[in-house]
Amino acid sequence: MSQYKIEAGTAQHIGDRKEQQDRVALFAAPNAPGHMMAVVADGMGGKSGGAIAAEQVVRSAKMLFDEFFPGNDIKAMLESIVHEAHTVIKLSAVSSEKEPHSTFVALVISPEKAVWAYVGDSRLYRFSGPNFAERTKDHSYVERLVDEGSITPEEAKNHKMSNVLVNVLGSKNAIPYVTFGEKDNLTAGDSFLLCSDGLWHYFADIELSVAVGASTPRQASELMIRKARERANSQGDNVSFAIVKLVSPPAEPKNYIAQKMTRVI
C-alpha cells in the first residue's frame, strides 16, 4: 500500500446570487480509520428550496458515513445516501410547498482506493500530479447533445438549455440513478476536485489541474474563486468545491494516513 497523507479543504462564494444554496463538507469516518469523504450538493428550487435540498444531502451523507465500518461496500453506502436524501427532499417539498432539488457528488478515500458517485452536473475531476486524468460526465441535456456530436463542449457551456438536468435528487417524476467511478493504487500526487457548476463553468480542464496540482488546497481555493469571480462578470452562480490531495508524508517509522481539513470562506 502506498504511503501518503491527505490534505483537503473546502471553499464557497455566494457569487451574484441572493442566497448560498450549495453545500460542501468533509467528513472522517468515526468507525473506519483511514477513510474520509468529501461531498458537494448544488441546491435548486426557488427561494430557500435549493438550500433545503442541498442541506439534506449533506446530512444524509454524514449520517450514513458515521455508520460505515471497514469492509462495508462503499458504493452501496453512496447509493444509500442518494436514495435517503431523495426521499427526504421529496417529503420536504410536500411540507414546505417548495420544489427543492439537488445535485450530488461525493468522494470516499480509503486505504485501498478512491470511490466516487454523482447525480446531476456537479463534477469530480481527478488529476495525476499536474496532469488532468478524467472527470465525470454531467447528467444534463447538453451533455447528451455533446455525446451525439450535435454541439461542442464549449458550446454546451453557454447553451440556452445548459441548466436542464436529466437526473437530480428530489424529482417528483423519476428515481435518481447513480454513476460511479473509482481509482485503485492511490499514490502521493493523486488529487481530486469536487465542484458545482458555479466553478467549472469558468475553467478549462487544464486550468483546474494546474491550479490544484501546483498549490495547497487553500492557495488553489483562493486562486480559483478569484478567477471565477473575474470571469463571471457580476453574473456568477454560487461557487462551492472541495479539494482532496494525496501528498508525501514527512518521514515516519510507520505507514499512516493523516487527515488535514481546512475551510476557506
Domains by residue range for the chain, with CATH: 5-264 (3.60.40.10)
Percent of the chain at pLDDT > 70 equals 91
How high is the pLDDT of residue 230? Answer: 97
How high is the pLDDT of residue 158? Answer: 85
Residue 221 CB-density burial (10 A; 0-12 exposed, 13-18 middle, 19+ buried): buried
**Of 81, 131, 118, 111, which is closest to residue 259 (Cα–Cα)?**
111
Q: Which tens digit of pLDDT belongs to each residue from 57-93?
A: 999 999 999 999 999 999 999 999 999 999 999 988 7
How high is the pLDDT of residue 49? Answer: 86
Pick out the chain residues at pLDDT < 50: 1, 256, 265
**Of 179, 177, 182, 180, which is closest to residue 133 (Cα–Cα)?**
182
How high is the pLDDT of residue 265? Answer: 45
pTM for the model stands at 0.91
Percent of the chain at pLDDT > 90 equals 80
